[in-house]
Structure 1
């Protein structure tokens, strides 16, 4: 049995297959999934699972070099932003890049997969760019 907190088979398998520079998106319930991009749908109902809990579990297995947010998150300031700022300050998320929400959605076309949460706060979406552990 695994020792890390991530129990979802599809998500764990995906993280194990990531190479340096690959992108994984964790999105809110409304983020569109581009055709051809794998969807790992964790959403059960409004708010379950939430964005921050999902992100923290993914980070228990994934080495992140940098991340991308839509700059609109800084204007709307959902509660998740505080956790994102803390994870950035402690270097868990690496460096931050900001894009417009439209550019962010365009970037998701290059992702290996999108993880859909039940989050319903605005702009709670992140592109995680895989790093290496060596």
Structure 2
């Protein structure tokens, strides 16, 4: 049994399968999930687990070379915008409709219980060497 890090076996296994340039969508409870990507749904109740908790846990285990979020996040959810811009100084911002289109290419979708708007980010995996 693992004693630290991500304990969810489905999420842990999905992360281990990712490679360089694979994309992971971390999304709120309301984001439409496209057909195709593997989905690990962590949503339990509204707000549980939060977008911030899940993102922090993922970033502790993934190498991320780029991130894309919806430009609407700055006005509609300043807390999520500050979190994303703090983690990703080169954060790319696109209209929400474009983010939904881009998410179709994700290899993995991690759905949180977040109930605030636009708490979504598309992560591009890097390499550790």
Same fold at TM > 0.5: yes
> Secondary structure of 2:66's match?
strand
What is the CA RMSD across the aligned residues, in angstroms? 1.3
User: CA offset at residue 121 of structure 1?
Assistant: 0.5
- Work out whether residues 66 and 88 of structure 2, in 8 Å CA contact, stay in contact via their aligned partners in 1: no
Q: How do 1:5-16 residues align onto structure 2 when only pairs under 5 Å count?
A: 5-16=5-16
| Residue of structure 2 equivalent to 1:92 | none
Q: Point out where structure 2 has 5 or more consecutive residues left out of the alignment.
A: none
Match of 2:114 among 116, 119, 126: 119
| Residue of structure 1 equivalent to 2:77 | 77
Q: Point out where structure 1 has 5 or more consecutive residues left out of the alignment.
A: 90-94
* Distance in structure 2 (CA, Å) of the matches to 1:27 and 1:65: 18
| Residue of structure 2 equivalent to 1:67 | 67
Q: TM-score, normalised by structure 2?
A: 0.93
Q: How many residues align?
A: 129
Q: TM-score, normalised by structure 1?
A: 0.90
